[in-house]
A = this chain, B = another copy of it.
């Protein structure tokens, strides 16, 4: 039923009609009101349904990770990228950016349960890297701020202008570029001159 999330994603909150939601869900318009008290309520429920998995995306792995912090960061970025680089998520992000200001509780929920947790997770990794002498101290500020921004926006860009922009790197290549940029920005300078690195 709620799989008719697509409608909000395609048209946005205002332009989406319950008619279409109901049709795609294979039920009648009236039936929607048996489960949701209003269009806003449906929207809220839809967002929450998509957010919950984001919330639950495990923080555990960070705690007992072995290996370099760079590896750990890479691993997390890959997981985030994977989750966000899907049409429904990009759509959701777009709609949320457009509508969240009209749904204060939803906004707070999203901020506290998704954004903040994600940033905290990223900060934890950064802190560990700094503690290990792997990252410079700036990492603690940089990583939680830049990583989500880049991941989100580059994917939105791809979906919005992908048809017009010839020569856009693949999604995976883009992800690796982001990773290397961030890593360059935070890693402690090695003795070895960079030229030799690769």
Inter-subunit contact A111/B195 (CB<8 Å):
no
User: What is the chain B residue whose CB lies nearest that of A149?
Assistant: B153
**SS of A interface (majority):** helix
Scoring A residues 146 to 168 as 1 if CB is less than 8 Å from chain B, else 0, what string do you get? 10011011101100110011000
Give bound CA distance, A190 to B164, whole Å.
38
Give bound CA distance, A174 to B144, whole Å.
12
Total identical chains: 4
Counting chain A residues whose Cβ lies within 8 A of the other chain, the interface size class is 35 or more
Give bound CA distance, A135 to B152, whole Å.
26
Inter-subunit contact B101/A98 (CB<8 Å):
no
Inter-subunit contact B12/A177 (CB<8 Å):
no
Pairs A–B under 8 Å by Cβ, sample size 30: A12-B98, A14-B14, A14-B15, A94-B97, A94-B98, A97-B98, A97-B156, A107-B161, A108-B164, A111-B164, A111-B165, A112-B164, A115-B161, A115-B165, A136-B194, A138-B180, A142-B177, A142-B181, A146-B150, A146-B177, A146-B178, A146-B181, A149-B153, A149-B157, A181-B181, A181-B182, A181-B185, A182-B185, A184-B185, A188-B194
